[in-house]
Structure 1
Amino acid sequence: MLQGHRERHRTSRIGWLRAAVLGANDGIVSISSLIVGVAAANGSHGNVLIAGAAGLVAGAMSMATGEYVSVHSQADIERAELEVERKELKANEEAEHNELAAIYVRRGLDPELARQVAVQLMAHDALDAHARDELGIVEAFSARPLQAALASAASFTVGASLPIAAAAWSSSASLVPCVAGASLLFLALLGGLAAWFGGADVWTGAMRVTFWGALAMVLTAGAGGLFGLVA
């Protein structure tokens, strides 16, 4: 029996890493922008902190709800597709053998070898073979709604707490530059860390997230200043 070493691939991190990075990034960008916008509208230091805290709670719940619904919809689709495949296997197993063999031929196997591979894989676990090679459903990418929701809410809370802490520790006069500067630093670190985890270029990841965060704060500050003049 052939045995090989078990390799650890970054693809196994995709589910939780995506939710965690998205949540933390959204927490930093949205709450820092909210704080800067309220401050630009001449809000008091207390009002800024209240707005930040309210935004944290609302944002965390929004992230959790949105992620849960989205990923649960994906899970429902996967279950429905697997049920269809299960019925097809029961109704016409020979046709399913041919279908799987044709997939392997398109990938480069000799027709006879493709047939043998299809027969052996289906003898081991027919539904798993079709789920993986026909439907593209694999364990590393399968939908986990609750895990995604909790990861998003938790990471959003952590991310949102950073600009709130910067606002709490700064004076009214230095609030905007302190929150903006700290938030951009946090975003750069987050983008670089996410890129490192994913095996991508750290500098590119950091600059990409920082740019969009800075743009969000500039636009929100402009909107806050405009409404501050009107109010």
Structure 2
Amino acid sequence: MMVTKVEVILPCLNEEAALGWVLGRMPAGYRPIVVDNGSTDRSAEVARDLGAMVVHEPVRGFGAACHAGLLAASTELVCFMDADASLDPERLPLVAAPVLDGRSDLVLGRRVPRAAGAWPWHARLGNAVLAGILRRRTGAQLHDLGPMRVARRSALLELGLTDRRFGYPLEMVLRAAAAGWRISEVEVDYLARAGRSKVTGTLSGTLRAISDMRRVMAELR
């Protein structure tokens, strides 16, 4: 019988087309928690049929879905990643390793594009600017506010994260740095996602995410 060592939180909004690939590549010992954030397709049914734990979060928002998954998790080590097939779950053990062996408290996957169109220019530019601000504010040598990340569940809960929109990943890094966490990066492949992104796929989505993150930075200044 496979023993679950790590749970993987996958915020999900209409990702029926991607879930088969994502869940099929989950490493041994990594249990997926798919947080359905109001999907109108068969995402929840597909995830359940493929053996994932499914959590329903009716409050719309990336942070709301992530935090619902964090509350539902039971393992000490938790991972976050997108459910859209832009990130390969087989890379999760590499991202988790520095936390497991005690070298880091929070590890982010630094995305390296491996397919044409995987990272639109407007999203890449916004991310580079944000990463520069984070380096100056926190001292952590980050080059990407990547959605694949690993930390200990109990420590994350102690941070008291409050944002429930696109500012959630940024708030996690800022609060972790303020708490003296060791933060590092591991390179991960960034692929062309299945379907159109709700954020980076459109300029308006990118601007909405930037707005949420600017609000979080102002609140935590």
Bin of the TM-score, shorter chain as denominator length: under 0.3
Relative contact order (alpha carbons < 8 A, sep ≥ 6): 1 or 2 greater? 1
Counting strand residues as a fraction of each chain, which structure ranks higher? 2
Counting helix residues as a fraction of each chain, which structure ranks higher? 1
| Greater Rg by CA | 1
